[in-house]
Amino acid sequence: MKKNITLLSLLCALCACNSSDEKESKDMTPPVISDTGITANPIECQEYRPGDVIHFQYVFTDDVELGNYNIEIHNNFDHHTHSGSAVDCELEAKKEAGEKAWVYNQDFAIPAGQRTYTAHVDIQIPDDAETGNYHFMVRLTDRTGWQQLKGIAIKLK
């Protein structure tokens, strides 16, 4: 029995050592996508016309260091998702995507060392883009690899 106790205390000692040398700050929080202090764009249910420019604007913050972000736009003609927000936007009738269904997918870098960053991107909607319901996805990482997502339903009329 004595041996068990010795072993147990050895293990506990080992735990104690380990936790003490790792009080170094570990990044445990994902970055945040918000509209703090700015007019965010696009917002839920926003409508555009083919040929318009989407003036994307959101504020990114992280407690340690921001990483990169990505903007991806794809059609929701088949109503494949529920909206995550409180408002449910009005959907047009379901349809099959045609040749000119708009696809946009672009990765963006954030300058190193930033904790706050206001992203502005002007996204040109092609003149011949097929109209209908689209999803506007924003993905943001921090340096450690935590990720934050924001899905926005938009419409081309």
Residues that bind another protein (CB under 8 A): 1, 3-4, 7-8, 10-11, 14-15, 18, 22, 24, 26, 28, 30, 67-70, 72, 74, 78-84, 97, 103, 105, 107, 137, 139, 141-147, 149-151
Identify the burial level of 22 via C-beta atoms within 10 angstroms of its C-beta, where 0-12 means exposed, 13-18 middle and 19 or more buried.
exposed
In the complex, minimum distance from the CB of residue 51 to another protein, in angstroms, rounded to a whole number: 21
Report the alpha-carbon angle 91-95-98, nearest 5. Answer: 120
In the complex, minimum distance from the CB of residue 36 to another protein, in angstroms, rounded to a whole number: 19
Q: Pairing relation of β-strands 53-61 and 66-75?
A: unpaired
Q: Is 22 or 122 the residue whose CB approaches another protein more closely?
A: 22
In the complex, minimum distance from the CB of residue 111 to another protein, in angstroms, rounded to a whole number: 13
Q: Is 24 or 122 the residue whose CB approaches another protein more closely?
A: 24
Residue 20 CB-half CA count within 13 A: 6
Q: Is 1 or 93 the residue whose CB approaches another protein more closely?
A: 1
* Region for 113 from its dihedrals, namely left if φ exceeds 0, alpha if ψ lies in -120 to 50, beta otherwise: left
Nearest-CA neighbor of 90 among 24, 51, 46, 121? 46
Q: Is 81 or 118 the residue whose CB approaches another protein more closely?
A: 81
Type of residue found at 86 = A
In the complex, minimum distance from the CB of residue 146 to another protein, in angstroms, rounded to a whole number: 5
In the complex, minimum distance from the CB of residue 39 to another protein, in angstroms, rounded to a whole number: 22
Q: Is 108 or 118 the residue whose CB approaches another protein more closely?
A: 108
